[in-house]
């Protein structure tokens, strides 16, 4: 098996869009891009230790690559990545800096 992942390797960056802002406000859910080898337990531990919150639930989604065509040849426009939707306890918040 490979080398163990550090907490800051597991969570790569927060995903900040209008939809994720609404999820954070209404459902107390936050979206992060995570390492491809990360699982739910690793993501939960990393979020709890980095942000100091109680995580209730983690959902992980593998986002497929976006492929386009140029002169009949397919090429990858956006690489495949993995995202995690983390639900935090109702009385807690994660402060994310907007770009």
The Cα–Cα gap between 1 and 53 comes to 30
Q: What is the pLDDT along the chain (99 residues), one digit of tens a residue?
A: 567 889 999 999 999 999 999 999 999 999 999 999 999 999 999 999 999 999 999 999 999 999 888 888 888 888 999 999 999 999 999 998 765
Angle at 82 between CA 60 and CA 25, to 5 degrees: 60
- pLDDT value of position 79: 92
User: What six digits make up the tokens of 11?
Assistant: 């969570």
CATH superfamily of 7-88: RRM (RNA recognition motif) domain (3.30.70.330)
| Domain ranges across the chain | 7-88
Beta bridge partners of 29: 87
- pLDDT value of position 99: 56
- pLDDT value of position 10: 96
């Amino acid at each position: 098996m490979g080398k163990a992942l550090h907490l800051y390797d597991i969570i790569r960056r927060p995903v900040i869009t209008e939809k994720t802002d609404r999820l954070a406000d209404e459902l107390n859910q936050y979206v992060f891009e995570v390492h491809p080898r990360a699982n739910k337990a690793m993501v939960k531990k990393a979020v709890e230790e980095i942000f100091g919150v109680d995580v209730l639930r983690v959902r992980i989604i593998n986002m497929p690559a976006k492929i386009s065509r140029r002169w009949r040849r397919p090429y990858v426009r956006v690489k495949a990545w993995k995202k995690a939707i983390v639900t935090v306890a109702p009385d807690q918040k994660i402060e994310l800096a907007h770009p």
